[in-house]
Structure 1
Amino acid sequence: MGLSDSVTVLPGVGPKRVAALADLGITTIESLLTYYPFRYEDLRVKALNEIGDQEQVTLKGIVAAPPTLSRFGRKKSRLNFRLLIGQDVVPVTFFNQPWLKKSIEVESPIMVYGRFDANRKQLNGMKILSSGKADPMASVYPSNQGIRQKTIQQLVVAAWDKYHTEIHDLVPIAIKTHYRLLDRAQMIHDMHFPKDLKAAKAARRSAKFEEFFRFQMQLQLLKRRDETQAGIAIDYDNQRLKRFVQALPYELTAAQKRVVNEICADLKRPIHMNRLLQGDVGSGKTVVAAICMYAAITGGYQAALMAPTEILAEQHANNLQALFEGLPVNIVLLTGSTKPAVRKEILPRLASGEINLIIGTHALIQEGVDYHRLGLVVIDEQHRFGVAQRQALRQKGANPDVLAMTATPIPRTLAITSYGEMDISVIDELPAGRKPITTHWIKNAQIDSAIQFVLRELAAGHQAYVVTPLIEESEAVDMKNAQAIYERFSAYFAPQHYQVGLLHGRMKNDEKEAVMQAFKENQYQVLVATTVIEVGVDVKNATVMMIYDADHFGLAQLHQLRGRVGRSDQQSYCILIADPKNKNGVDRMRVMTETNDGFVVSQKDLELRGSGDVLGKKQSGLPDFKVGDPIADLTMLSVAQDEAKKLTSTPGWQDQPDNANLVSYLKQAEEHAYMFD
């Protein structure tokens, strides 16, 4: 007998009920006992003068008059009676529960639970309680059509009665004592059957920590297993690497130097590197990647850089060509647009090792693209690739080291959960000479003055982006659209001899690239665009980013767009145009004007919008926790991670008797993939 027993051992659980429980994720006694209530009903009887308006309460009194039942509509009814409480008479109404009439007898005592309207002094009843009700608190569980709330409560009671002696602590005693956590059995009992709200709160605190701690233990074990995997030890030429860094046209920041050292140390180790390089827009990730790729090349290996778009891949190729000029680095660009004849010429040179640095899009992982000695894989804007695509590139060599890069600053919440098994390097400072971007929020009524400001920047020889959420006019949504703004700006700036370009997602790739190239060459001084310019475009002469309907964008996206300017030593500006309709929209605009720190912005984005859109794909979002909220409970999540790291780095921790239950749980979790449920 144990917590892994099927729920079928409980009375009344047949095939239909098994299916209904499975829909709720309940298949074992363990999953039933950890299927916690999402709220509690306080069933203690209160005096009328203690009750607040719209409070859910229990009233106890005498039925003062016979109940009346009236029906209206199809299957709709209203049941009324009067409840005498001391000298007060309280009208009670039950909607659509006609069967309760037989439970209501004149001059009989009764307890009713419902929502109290203090202004009218009446109760909207929810249920009639047994006068012998012992529990002051009633647990309320998420349920479905196949199984009633009451049935879940009964099954939890049955499981507790039969299995509570089988509940053993998972959190080690030292950790539990230090953070004043409840024993697991007490925690589970008080989650389901608390004596009061204080007990329920203490149990929930312990349940949150246990959930975070179990998850972090699994992540740490994944990380340590990856570290023990056979990898490539790249014995790079340190002297050549130093000469390359010294020859760069600028001094690396302290953060860049620190990150280069972290990555290069991993390259030398004979284990597989799985590292995430994150840094704000313009922080200099590309040059860090270049140094590390050159290190691999000096060690006799090939390097590959995969980017999500052709324009970004081409930009990387051009930048790296300039950086590696005069060095024995043979760079080739391979994308979906590469002509068949050129591709046919590239592939054998790549397979023979003649090409030692290849840059491209998903074309790098296609069938027939073979490498000679692939040592380092760099994945730019990695969250734009699916898990399968990232894995496919990794499998092109003999377990090459992987460096994933992202310019989307990952809030600490996501770094601890979704990327907990990766080593993370952070570039947290901008290159010398970069000036912070000045961000202003204006209303639509102030647009004319903003356009005058853009005109002054153009007169100074600079360029401007103008971004809008829609391509064409839509009757459904009242937002400015790219086509209309393009026409307006063209008419306004043409007499001033400034050219305006238009860029949007419906254009063909070659059309987009032609427009972008023209903007980079200053043939267009103003570029009206949708969010296709969010990632990767680098035009150092652009100093203004004007964003229409800014409150329709998430903070992380606004920050990415803002990062398209401020890429030189010129002062740059971001102008947000928005008339937000609610507090959330106002809060987003204020955050953007108050900070340029992408990590602060992304954490606020997570708090205001939730995790869904921060990194896009489902696999990049937050795991589903039952009781813990990784955003609201970030401090606890961090503590759980620290404790899991400490424990797993302690020699022989798995053999200590105190950890036996935890080790057993982790083995079962690995077999059943609990973490990814």
Structure 2
Amino acid sequence: MVKSKSSHLYESVSILSGVGAKKVEALSGLGIRTVMDLFYYFPYRYEDFYEQNVYNLADGDKAVLHGQVVTTPVLSRFGYKKSSLRFKMEVQDLVINVVFFNQPYLRDKIMIGEDLAVYGKWEQAKLSLTASKTVDLKKTDQLEPVYSTTASIKQWAIRKLIKSAFEDYGSELINIVPNEIRDPLHLMDEHDMIFKIHFPKSYDDVKEARQSAVFEEFFLYLGRLKWLKKDDDQLGIQVNYNLNELKQFIETLPFELTDSQKHAVNEICFDLKSEQAMNRLLQGDVGSGKTIVAALGIYAAFTAKMQSALMVPTEVLAAQHYDNLKQLFNDTNLQVALLTSGTSKSERKALLEDLKNGKIDLLIGTHALIQPDVEFNNLAFVIIDEQHRFGVNQRRALRVKGLMPNILSMTATPIPRTLAITIYGSIKISTIKEMPKGRLPIKTIWVKGASDPLIDRAVRYELEHDHQVYVVAPLVAESETMDLRNAEEIYDQYVQNYPKVEVALLHGKMKPDDKEQILNDFAAKKYRILVSTTVIEVGVDVKDATLMIIYDANRFGLSQLHQLRGRVGRSSIQSYCILVANPQNEVAKKRLELMVESNDGFFLAENDLKLRGAGEVFGNRQSGEINFKVGDPLEDQKSLQLARDAVDQVFSKDPELTDAENQNFHEFLVHTKDQDETID
């Protein structure tokens, strides 16, 4: 059998030299399973190792400075395994201070009188460079890519692997985007694009490659979405619900639906009765009452003697939905069940039997719902909460549990309608803009210093009133390169400041079971203060949590700040959000001012779009429902629209992609069909 030219690209990374089982597992944790995945694992930024003029530096700049060591390095130790190494260098007739943190081994390598280049962050007031590494200007590439990593695999290892893979298999890279699309848009050759992204000689290389990479990423994502959905565009299950029974149930609710909720319910019910399978996105601000809207769709299906499923991203959120919906349907015959990875074998066996026999009307769960042994009797309605947390195939796997059931996706991240349609394809959108009656707007305050006495007063006030507090930091631990507050440091501080109060620490590096336990314990009020990174952005509903403190708030985008703020204000109790930040640029200041001004997620989303500039070439993005590696749906709307038009053009001419010019595109879709990217 003759292999295709690109055969190695879709093979496991285990074919690369030095990649054993442990490294395969570590790479898999980054979403890298094949050689192609490795090539498309793009840097999120670059470190600039061009030697710079010390007199041109501004405070906070990162730079490479080259000069002569003029004092003997002095090593000081403090704390647990912490140290500083300090010495002076003469750089361009200016004597500066240099400090390395937690690199004590450098003391024996840096000698007085030595010619040395160091990379770090410049502090103008102290004429000091907080250095992270020494640089060999003769051997180091002037632009060094920086990749997202985990504890299991280091930065240098990823760089080495990509270089090795490119040397062995880079020649096999092919143009996936068909030439009829590529040529008019002047897209770079695939080989050159990948090379310039990973091994750029200048920022011009990066910018040129990025233009092609952005379009291609959108094109391949939308193409894959179209390919996966092409078999789904057919007649679905018609739910002939009992309108009178639904109205009677609505009358039993202990609150009145808002006009937005009523409108959304009507749209969903219209879709349920239609012969066409529902494909609808329900978007609403945090706390706007999306769940009750979905619940009414569930009850409508129940009146037609049909089943529903609700899939959520975390076990904590699944348990919350289970408790709330079980209580909501308590006086009806609608049977609710919960299925997660924590369900015991005996419980699971009995539950699955009841589900298959139609004794369960609503099944709530996490990814456990899409396991092969989960069989429904007559699944008609599927709700996917925080749908951007699930991959395309995960959502599709739940849909095929029934004969084309109706799909309702829910998100609390408002995005412009045209952008939503472009990203999600032919999807109908329902929007809830009003908040339920009785909810008080969260009062947001911006303070510039972490030592502001208002923070302590606010914490003590909420604790005295038997309330709970969230505290959010941008980093897990201390960083040598970023002068930001970290969760571990803040946790120690809060334990010391509030010794009679139970304080918990939560971050993404913890084991999933440990994270779930801490969240459950916080919800059960075993902890009064939760210090966390952004892992609490979604999926936590604690009624007694009334204060949110966000350190270095300028490091987050508007939409993320709004999501974090939405963790409080979940009851009729007045809640507060304190933003702690002292930004030096006007855009960051404007974001914080907008947060203080408004609680409206749609208003903030629109202003986020207006405020955001080009940012770093591959910089951290603050928005987007999809974790694109290069493109940003908001910043790169023009490319996104061009990609959507191009995908439509290709599929309208050749729906099955059998034409020769679409062969590489077809091969890509076939090989990636079973890869489940998380859309986040």
TM-score scaled to structure 1, two decimals?
0.61
Task: Please state if 1:323 is matched with 2:332.
Answer: no
1:306/1:378 contact within 8 Å kept: yes
Instruction: Identify the residue that residue 137 of structure 1 maps to in structure 2.
Output: none
**3-state DSSP class of the match of 1:300?**
coil
Task: Please state if 1:523 is matched with 2:526.
Answer: yes
Instruction: Identify the residue that residue 600 of structure 1 maps to in structure 2.
Output: 603
> CA distance change for structure 1 residues 34 and 448 in 2, over 3 Å: closer, same or farther?
same
> CA distance change for structure 1 residues 451 and 632 in 2, over 3 Å: closer, same or farther?
farther
Task: Please state if 1:457 is matched with 2:462.
Answer: yes
Deviation of 1:512 (Å): 3.2
Task: Please state if 1:339 is matched with 2:344.
Answer: yes
Deviation of 1:266 (Å): 0.5
Task: Please state if 1:32 is matched with 2:41.
Answer: no
Deviation of 1:538 (Å): 1.0
Instruction: Identify the residue that residue 137 of structure 2 maps to in structure 1.
Output: none
Structure 2: stretches of 5+ with no match in the other structure: 1-169, 194-218, 670-680
Deviation per CA, 1:184-217, whole angstroms, max 9, x where unpaired? xxxxxxxxxxxxxxxxxxxxxxxxxxxxxx99x9
Task: Please state if 1:563 is matched with 2:548.
Answer: no
**3-state DSSP class of the match of 1:464?**
strand
Instruction: Identify the residue that residue 550 of structure 2 maps to in structure 1.
Output: 547
Q: 1:500 aligns with which of 480, 500, 503?
A: 503
Deviation of 1:508 (Å): 3.9
Q: 1:402 aligns with which of 379, 399, 407?
A: 407
**What pairs with 1:229-244 in structure 2 (closer than 5 Å)?**
229-244=234-249
Deviation of 1:510 (Å): 4.2
Task: Please state if 1:585 is matched with 2:588.
Answer: yes
2:316/2:520 contact within 8 Å kept: no
**3-state DSSP class of the match of 1:257?**
helix
Instruction: Identify the residue that residue 289 of structure 1 maps to in structure 2.
Output: 294
2:558/2:622 contact within 8 Å kept: no
Instruction: Identify the residue that residue 432 of structure 2 maps to in structure 1.
Output: 427
> CA distance change for structure 1 residues 450 and 399 in 2, over 3 Å: closer, same or farther?
same
**What pairs with 1:617-632 in structure 2 (closer than 5 Å)?**
617-618=626-627, 631=637
**Amino acid corresponding to residue 506 of structure 2 in structure 1:** L
**What pairs with 1:59-208 in structure 2 (closer than 5 Å)?**
none
Instruction: Identify the residue that residue 363 of structure 2 maps to in structure 1.
Output: 358
2:632 and 2:650 map into 1 onto residues whose CA distance is 19
Deviation per CA, 1:560-585, whole angstroms, max 9, x where unpaired? 11000111222221111112243443
> CA distance change for structure 1 residues 542 and 588 in 2, over 3 Å: closer, same or farther?
same
**Amino acid corresponding to residue 556 of structure 2 in structure 1:** F
Task: Please state if 1:667 is matched with 2:670.
Answer: no
1:502 and 1:394 map into 2 onto residues whose CA distance is 37
Instruction: Identify the residue that residue 614 of structure 1 maps to in structure 2.
Output: 623
Instruction: Identify the residue that residue 66 of structure 1 maps to in structure 2.
Output: none
1:298 and 1:560 map into 2 onto residues whose CA distance is 35
Q: 1:270 aligns with which of 272, 275, 286?
A: 275
**3-state DSSP class of the match of 2:235?**
coil
Deviation per CA, 1:15-42, whole angstroms, max 9, x where unpaired? xxxx99x967786466434438xxxxxx
1:363 and 1:282 map into 2 onto residues whose CA distance is 26
2:508 and 2:649 map into 1 onto residues whose CA distance is 52
2:466 and 2:191 map into 1 onto residues whose CA distance is 64
Q: 2:372 aligns with which of 343, 358, 367?
A: 367
Identity among equivalent positions (%) equals: 47
1:284 and 1:387 map into 2 onto residues whose CA distance is 25
Deviation of 1:623 (Å): 8.6
Deviation of 1:429 (Å): 0.9
1:27 and 1:632 map into 2 onto residues whose CA distance is 19
2:400 and 2:228 map into 1 onto residues whose CA distance is 19
1:562 and 1:407 map into 2 onto residues whose CA distance is 12
* More deviation, 526-535/499-508: 499-508
Deviation of 1:612 (Å): 5.2
Task: Please state if 1:534 is matched with 2:524.
Answer: no
Task: Please state if 1:572 is matched with 2:575.
Answer: yes
Deviation per CA, 1:18-72, whole angstroms, max 9, x where unpaired? x99x967786466434438xxxxxxxxxxxxxxxxxxxxxxxxxxxxxxxxxxxx
1:231 and 1:525 map into 2 onto residues whose CA distance is 48
1:517 and 1:323 map into 2 onto residues whose CA distance is 21
> CA distance change for structure 1 residues 272 and 430 in 2, over 3 Å: closer, same or farther?
same
1:382/1:405 contact within 8 Å kept: yes
Deviation of 1:424 (Å): 0.6
Number of residue pairs aligned between Structure 1 and Structure 2 = 467
* More deviation, 506-515/353-362: 506-515
1:258 and 1:486 map into 2 onto residues whose CA distance is 45
TM-score scaled to structure 2, two decimals?
0.61
2:556/2:622 contact within 8 Å kept: no
**3-state DSSP class of the match of 2:424?**
coil
2:284/2:432 contact within 8 Å kept: yes
Deviation per CA, 1:497-535, whole angstroms, max 9, x where unpaired? 443232233444444344333333333322212222111
* More deviation, 414-423/285-294: 414-423
1:218 and 1:515 map into 2 onto residues whose CA distance is 40
Deviation of 1:478 (Å): 2.2
Deviation per CA, 1:132-175, whole angstroms, max 9, x where unpaired? xxxxxxxxx999869xxxxxxxxxxxxxxxxxxxxxxxxxxxxx
1:281/1:560 contact within 8 Å kept: yes
Q: Which is greater in Rg?
A: 1
**3-state DSSP class of the match of 1:444?**
coil
Deviation of 1:224 (Å): 12
Q: 1:310 aligns with which of 309, 315, 330?
A: 315
Deviation per CA, 1:305-336, whole angstroms, max 9, x where unpaired? 00000000011000011101021111111111
2:477 and 2:580 map into 1 onto residues whose CA distance is 18
Deviation of 1:303 (Å): 0.5
> CA distance change for structure 1 residues 394 and 243 in 2, over 3 Å: closer, same or farther?
same
**Amino acid corresponding to residue 398 of structure 2 in structure 1:** L
Deviation per CA, 1:364-399, whole angstroms, max 9, x where unpaired? 010211111101111110000000100000001111
**Amino acid corresponding to residue 423 of structure 2 in structure 1:** S
Instruction: Identify the residue that residue 478 of structure 2 maps to in structure 1.
Output: 473
**3-state DSSP class of the match of 1:516?**
helix
> CA distance change for structure 1 residues 586 and 142 in 2, over 3 Å: closer, same or farther?
farther
1:621 and 1:316 map into 2 onto residues whose CA distance is 35
Aligned-CA RMSD value:
4.2
**3-state DSSP class of the match of 2:498?**
helix
2:648 and 2:561 map into 1 onto residues whose CA distance is 44
Task: Please state if 1:416 is matched with 2:435.
Answer: no
2:621/2:632 contact within 8 Å kept: no
> CA distance change for structure 1 residues 438 and 396 in 2, over 3 Å: closer, same or farther?
same
Structure 1: stretches of 5+ with no match in the other structure: 1-18, 37-140, 147-213, 645-661
Deviation of 1:291 (Å): 0.8
1:219/1:421 contact within 8 Å kept: no
**3-state DSSP class of the match of 1:418?**
helix
**Amino acid corresponding to residue 362 of structure 1 in structure 2:** H
**Amino acid corresponding to residue 564 of structure 1 in structure 2:** R
